[in-house]
Structure 1
Amino acid sequence: MSLNGKYAVGIVLTFVLLVLAMLYSIPLINQFFNFKTITADLFFYNRLSLWLVLIIVLAYNFFIENRSFFVWEDKKYSAGFYLIAVICLYLICAVGGAFLNGIIMLITHEKISDKLLQLSSIFKNNYFLIIFTCLTAGVIEELLMRAYIQPRVEKIYNSPVLGVIISALLFAVLHSTYGTIGQVIVPFFIGIVFAIFYKLYSNIKILIICHFMFDFISLMLMNLIDLKQLSVF
């Protein structure tokens, strides 16, 4: 099999494993622990399953692709660049995401995701789970969506545009499990912003930090304020 063929299989494997972890890890975990509802422990085990996906993809990369996990070598920047980049990315995603979500709610009148309402209760004052969830999202999603999938799509099709669009689209589809239009459109927008940044600056650490910060601030606001009051954001 050619290297591009191995890359294609790796992309499909990564996405399928992520979908399986998102959709079926909770029912599978319940086969052993029999949780009646979504609890903090159940969600913690669900997040652990995403780390297992990363381990499997790393193993595939090491044994089958036999190439560096990072197709694009990470570039080094100053601490000042890190700070400015993280702040700018956060503001673009927060403001742009709020604007898109506001338009979607105005047009569709869709309600808050039932899944988000369920999760808001388990995050209440559970700071360990908040930090672990944000760390998992930042590390796993950026390493797999941006560092792994995006450059491989670009290499297969020789198209930076397809690399950006496909990685962002897959990122959005993974968030469709929340069950609302906003939870697809906004992640797609964020995926586009992150993918363009990664193509231009080739630094996954900045994206991990920004992703963590974006989710952490969102969950802390959810923890402190009624979710319905934050719905437009």
Structure 2
Amino acid sequence: MLYAFPAISFFTGIKSNTAGSFYISRIVLWVVLIIIFLYTLFVERGSFLLQEEKKYAVSFYAKAVIGLYLASVFGSAFLNILVHLVTHENTSDKLVAISYLFKNDYFLIIFTCLTAGVMEELLMRGYMQPRIEKIYNSSIAGIVISAVLFGILHSTYGTIGQVVITSFIGIVFALFYKKYSNIKILIICHFMIDFVSLMIMNFIDFKHLSVF
């Protein structure tokens, strides 16, 4: 997953980030998800989700998504300020460049948010977290390691802030999944975080949204 863009560049000859290469990279991530699903089916010979999904009322879904969203956004903004004060790093040039790919391309925005929400939550929380917990016989290990790996997954944006912030969100989501065992709520919230962010960037220059 970390090498999706370099692999696309190698096989297609596309050296810069374009809307086309970004579409291909999202398709590659869906392929990764399918491969892991087939691995669980034919190698592990078990269920993709080790934690049984719990059902909740619609009102709980609404409150959980809003609560997770607010905790993630405000917590991330606070951490971003701290990281900036400590490291004095600039906004990721790569993230700025990618943000311009989404300008008025609403299908790309929705496809990207859907891919991130479904693929990352199923793999990082649904698949990896309970397996890490099982391997080390520790729920803390499952939460922390899956969150750190989630942060590393976003290291390609080139800043410490992106890794720290996504690791924080990973911990929030992992704690929720451990307690409530519902991956659908995390998928919805993940989609919502990315969708709102990209829509705001679509209408406002990203350079003015460094804290956000």
Q: TM-score, normalised by structure 2?
A: 0.97
Contact 1:25 1:49 (C-alpha < 8 Å) held by counterparts: no
Q: Which residue of 1 aligns with 2:91?
A: 112
Number of aligned positions between the proteins: 212
Q: Which residue of 1 aligns with 2:122?
A: 143
Q: Which runs of 5+ in 1 are unaligned?
A: 1-17
Task: Give the C-alpha shift of residue 155 in structure 1.
Answer: 0.8
Q: Which residue of 1 aligns with 2:2?
A: 19
Q: Which residue of 2 aligns with 1:87?
A: 66
Q: TM-score, normalised by structure 1?
A: 0.89
SS for the counterpart of 2:165 is helix
SS for the counterpart of 2:154 is helix
SS for the counterpart of 2:56 is coil
Distance (whole Å) between structure 1 residues aligned to residue 103 and residue 7 of structure 2? 23
Contact 2:8 2:14 (C-alpha < 8 Å) held by counterparts: no
Is residue 229 from structure 1 mapped to residue 208 from structure 2 by the alignment? yes
2:171 to 168, 182, 192: 192
Distance (whole Å) between structure 1 residues aligned to residue 158 and residue 122 of structure 2? 25
Task: Give the C-alpha shift of residue 36 in structure 1.
Answer: 4.9
Q: Which residue of 1 aligns with 2:76?
A: 97
Contact 1:105 1:232 (C-alpha < 8 Å) held by counterparts: no
Q: Which residue of 1 aligns with 2:23?
A: 44
Runs of 4+ in 1 over 3 A off after TM superposition: none
Aligned identity (percent) is 61
Contact 1:86 1:206 (C-alpha < 8 Å) held by counterparts: yes
Q: How does 1:161-176 map to 2 (within 5 A)?
A: 161-176=140-155
Deviations 1:124-169 (A, max 9, x none): 0100000000000000000000000000011111100000000001
